[in-house]
Amino acid sequence: MQRRDFIKNSAIAGAGAAGMTILNFPVFGKNAPSNKIVLGVMGVNSRGNWLAQVASKLPGAEIGYICDVEDGAIKKGLDAVAKSQSKKPTVIKDIRKLVTVKDVDAIMIASPDHWHAPAAIMACAAGKHVYVEKPCSHNAAEGEMLVAAAKKYNRFVQMGNQRRSWVNINQAVKEVRDQNILGKVYYARGWYANNRGPIGVGKKVAVPTTLDWNLWQGPAPRKDFLDNIVHYNWHWRWHWGTSETCNNATHELDCMRWFLDVQFPTKVTSAGGRYAYSGDDWETPDTQTLNFEFDGGKSISWEGRSCNAFKLEGSGRGFALFGENGSLYNNGGDGIKIYDAKGKLVREIKQAGASENQNVVNTVSPAGEQSDAIHIQNFLETIRGKASLNSPVTEGHKSTMLCHLGNIAQRSGSILECDPSNGHILNNDEAAKLYWGREYENGWAPKV
């Protein structure tokens, strides 16, 4: 059987495969042609650079292509991959060209948020599997489009919420949901803290010769280049970014939704704003509290502080569950503490090789290389037909939707009532019209 046929057939067979995977391979050899998966990585300045490094070290994986629109980022990506594989990746700056390359099996997307869903959708349409960083979409409408694309084109799409593959968290989910160790869990609380400074007021300057500004903007309507957008501060501009909610809350909201076994909310509220600083170009909240209510008498809250790094419960990020018979605490990594109804610690699972009280908010990967490797490996093994996705986009979209609904509640100043079957906003046509989707540059709108 040829490698291409094997990969194609695995996409169908893998849909019924079960369980998490470990980092091993069949007896006929890790470098057998049927095992080799060629990856193209889009966006390699920071997070994508790290993902390329990690993936290139996995048996049977090859970073065949690097896709970025800025020369400095391309060099960083090539240098990173050179440390772990001898073959130099081919550089293709335009994702529209990369997805047409026949020998690419899958695309890894770590570009700015406004590119995540459009790139993933075009990759699916071109027959590629997709690993897309969180958030899987820039807005709610795009998330639904991506789910539809994965289904229509029969592609595996995994979101990069790697906690879905972490061993201790998976075990804790089973104990909370299946073994009922906390009794009914009715409330979860998450948080994130950082010490980001002001971003200033951007100056309109000439686009650097090293940057393709048109491709960087891609599906977003065109704006002038400012000197404080690339590479990072686009996060805090609604035109391209999605606030700290999608940037970081996605992880904790996903875990809390997973533990509570809830889907879409019935009610969403948000309080916050740009409080820490004023007078700069930062548009999204730097301080925000989100609250979600679900059917069955369950609720979730999340607190984000982008500009004050004071730790809650000893950690810069994490979540806690509260139930009839006790509570569970997570410090942002793969460590777990379980308490009885009186608050006494009765069990602790420590994350291997990590300090319990570490503040991990400023690192590219919050729990080290292995935490990302096992999630990427699950994606690769699913393509091979030996596993099923730990975070298929159907689930990733639901957790990302919480972030989008929180942002819509914030931007519209509304208490949102939602359809628990799909998250759609009820009785507020204005908020839905303004914030559910977005406008696109002419000719760039994603199509399923």
Check which CATH number belongs to the domain holding 41 and give it: 3.40.50.720
Q: List, in sequence order, every residue forming a beta bridge with 109; answer none if it has no partner.
A: 42, 132
Percent of the chain with pLDDT over 70: 89
Percent of the chain with pLDDT over 90: 86
Model's pTM, two decimal places? 0.91
What does the pLDDT look like over 129-146, one tens digit per residue? 999 999 999 999 999 999
Pair 159, 240 in one domain: no
Interior/surface letters 271-296, b for 16+ CB within 10 angstroms, e for the rest = ebebebeeebebebbbbbbbbbbbee
Q: Which H/E stretch holds residue 334?
A: none
In a domain, 15, yes or no: yes
**What's the total number of domains in the chain?**
2
For 198, the 3-state DSSP assignment is coil
Nearest Cα to Cα of residue 7 among 25, 33, 30, 31: 33
Do residues 235 and 276 lie in contact, with contact meaning Cβ atoms separated by under 8 Å? no
CA of 338: how far to CAs of 166, 196, 252, 325, in Å? 17, 32, 17, 10
| pLDDT surpasses 60 at 358 | no
Pair 24, 65 in one domain: yes
C-alpha–C-alpha distance, residues 84 and 79, integer Å: 10
Interior/surface letters 216-229, b for 16+ CB within 10 angstroms, e for the rest = bbbbbeeeebbebb
What does the pLDDT look like over 40-87, one tens digit per residue? 999 999 999 999 999 999 999 999 999 999 999 999 999 999 988 999
Pair 384, 403 in one domain: no
In a domain, 445, yes or no: no
Pair 176, 40 in one domain: no
Pair 178, 119 in one domain: no
Peptide bond into 135 cis (omega under 30): yes
C-alpha–C-alpha distance, residues 196 and 178, integer Å: 40
In a domain, 47, yes or no: yes
Pair 244, 345 in one domain: yes
| pLDDT surpasses 50 at 262 | yes
Pair 325, 377 in one domain: no
C-alpha–C-alpha distance, residues 177 and 73, integer Å: 43
Interior/surface letters 331-342, b for 16+ CB within 10 angstroms, e for the rest = bbbbbbbbbeee
- Amino acid identity at 8: K
Computed over every residue of the chain, the mean pLDDT equals 91
In a domain, 257, yes or no: yes
In a domain, 441, yes or no: no
In a domain, 447, yes or no: no
Examine the fold and report which residue of 391, 426, 443 is the final residue of a domain before the chain moves on: 391
Pair 227, 355 in one domain: yes
CATH of the domain at 221: 3.30.360.10
| pLDDT surpasses 70 at 319 | yes
**Which residue intervals of 43-112 are DSSP H helices?**
47-56, 71-82, 95-98
Its domain, for residue 288, covers 166-200+216-364+394-435
In a domain, 274, yes or no: yes
Pair 29, 139 in one domain: yes
Pair 120, 195 in one domain: no
Give the pLDDT confidence score for residue 4 in this predicted structure.
53
| pLDDT surpasses 90 at 368 | no
Pair 183, 245 in one domain: yes
In a domain, 430, yes or no: yes
Pair 146, 171 in one domain: no
Give the pLDDT confidence score for residue 26 in this predicted structure.
42
Residue 12: how many other CB atoms lie within 10 Å = 10
Do residues 95 and 42 lie in contact, with contact meaning Cβ atoms separated by under 8 Å? yes
Give the pLDDT confidence score for residue 343 in this predicted structure.
96
